[in-house]
Amino acid sequence: MEKTGILFLLLINLLSSVVMADDYYVSYYLYTKNFKVLNEKLKFSKAMVPFKSKGKTICKIASNSNKIETFIKKNKNNILSCLFKEGVFVNSYGTYSEMISKKETIILKILPTPVQVDFNDGLVIIRKIR
């Protein structure tokens, strides 16, 4: 009887962690001009339709946050390092006159990417959906 009670609690815990995972589209944009950051945006948009598959874990971040907004504010650099490992688009434009740079523009982009964010007792797991 004791074993079935423990197994039931473990099963409930496992199911609640799967149910607690929220689906988002994450995107990032960084615009620099003459090597100065002019605009930067990291956006998490809630998916309107839940994803049908479980994604590949791209990072685990220790955090006491239970809400996505506070998690993003406190862990922006950790989130970006995880996302950059998965790929980023870089566009660079320059204007030169007599071999001297007159204007340099660099744009970094992460196109909207489907991810699951799972808050699990002080550990946040981010999974990328393929």
What is the reported pLDDT for 58?
93
* Residue range 2-32, pLDDT digits in tens: 555 554 444 444 444 444 578 999 999 999 9
Which residue, chain included where needed, has tokens 């815990």? 13
Residue 99 and residue 80: Cα distance in Å, rounded? 34
Q: Where are the domains of the chain?
A: 20-129
Nearest CA among 28, 20, 27 for reference residue 114: 27
Q: According to the model, what pLDDT value does residue 19 have? A: 44
Q: Which pLDDT value is given to residue 102? A: 78
How does pLDDT run across 28-44, given as a tens digit for each residue?
Answer: 999 999 889 999 999 99
Q: What's the pTM value of the predicted model, to 2 decimals? A: 0.73
Answer yes or no: are the C-beta atoms of 120 and 60 closer than 8 Å.
no
- H/E stretch holding 116: strand 100-120
Where do the H-state alpha helices sit in 65-121? Answer: 68-74, 76-86
Amino acid 16: pLDDT: 43
Evaluate whether 29 touches 108 at the Cβ level (below 8 Å): yes
**Per-residue pLDDT tens digits for 71-129:** 999 999 999 999 999 999 999 988 887 777 778 899 999 999 999 999 988 899 999 99
- pLDDT for position 9: 46
CB 44 within 8 A of CB 34: no
> What is the 8-class DSSP label of residue 99?
T
